[in-house]
Amino acid sequence: MNLNKYLDVAPEVAQAVAAGKPVVALESTIISHGMPYPQNVETALKVEEIIRENGAIPATIAVINGRLKAGLTKEEIEYLGKKGHEVNKASRRDLAVLVSKGADGATTVTTTMIIAHMAGIKIFATGGIGGVHRGAETTMDISADLEELAHTPVMVVCAGAKSILDLGLTLEYLETHGVPVIGYGTDELPAFYTRKSGFAIDYRLDTPQELAAAFHTSLELGFPAGMLVANPIPEAYSMDAGVINKAIADAVEEAKNTGIHGKETTPFLLAKIKEITKGTSLDANIQLVFNNAKVAAQTACALSALQ
Residues with active-site annotation: 27, 162
Residue closest to 189 by CA, chosen among 164, 166, 161? 161
Residue 159: CB atoms within 10 Å: 31
Q: Are the C-beta atoms of 242 and 118 separated by less than 8 Å?
A: no
d(CA 267, CA 33): 8
d(CA 28, CA 89): 9
Residue 87: CB atoms within 10 Å: 24
The answer, yes or no, to whether the previous bond of 232 is cis (omega within 30 of 0) is no
d(CA 301, CA 289): 18
**Strands 227-230 and 181-184: what pairing?**
parallel
183: left (phi over 0), alpha (psi -120 to 50) or beta: beta
User: What does the angle CA 162 – CA 148 – CA 151 come to, to the nearest 5 degrees?
Assistant: 140
Q: What is the DSSP string of 260-301?
A: --GGGHHHHHHHHHHHHTTTHHHHHHHHHHHHHHHHHHHHHH
d(CA 207, CA 199): 22
Q: Are the C-beta atoms of 300 and 122 separated by less than 8 Å?
A: yes
